[in-house]
Amino acid sequence: MTASDVSAPVLPPDPTFSATQYEQVARLLRSGVLGFLIFAGFGMVAQLVLSPSETVTSLLASKPASEYGSVGALVGAFGAGSPDSFIILGIYIMVAVTVGRVVLATVDLYRGGERALGTISAAVVVLLLVGLFVVAPFVR
């Protein structure tokens, strides 16, 4: 059996998205995942070091919304070096990456002339923000 020289088909350039737009999205996703891993990973290791006997039951019984319900409380806990605040910050980074990705998609779709998909993406951004800032405080 001989190997044939089959080259991959060359796809035409995408008129909607340029290579720089793909690079922006890739940079956002990479930096977001890296930020999450650094902050949440550090917080998890620090939490294990500070309280190695903590059980899953006690962890699930804690109420982070009462401790970090405001930006000021989170910044204060972060400044004090609380491991929980590092974990929460990592989670906030991942949520911001999700919203940022949809915002980038919205902008790119409008620039590429995709009005219908751009409008749907803008609606998704609005729904994400309403869910985060209006609905989430009511969930207990």
- Average pLDDT over every residue of 125-133: 91
The pLDDT, as a whole number, for residue 3 is 59
- Average pLDDT over every residue of 116-130: 95
- Average pLDDT over every residue of 4-17: 68
In a domain, 5, yes or no: no
The pLDDT, as a whole number, for residue 106 is 94
Q: How many CB atoms lie within 10 A of CB 52?
A: 7
Answering whether pTM is above 0.85, one says no
Contacts of 33 by beta carbon, 8 Å cutoff, 6+ apart:
94, 97
In a domain, 1, yes or no: no
Tell me the helices (H) and strands (E) count for the chain, helix number first. Answer: 6, 0
Domain that holds residue 119: 19-138
In a domain, 4, yes or no: no
In a domain, 11, yes or no: no
- Average pLDDT over every residue of 72-84: 84
Whether pLDDT at 35 is above 70: yes
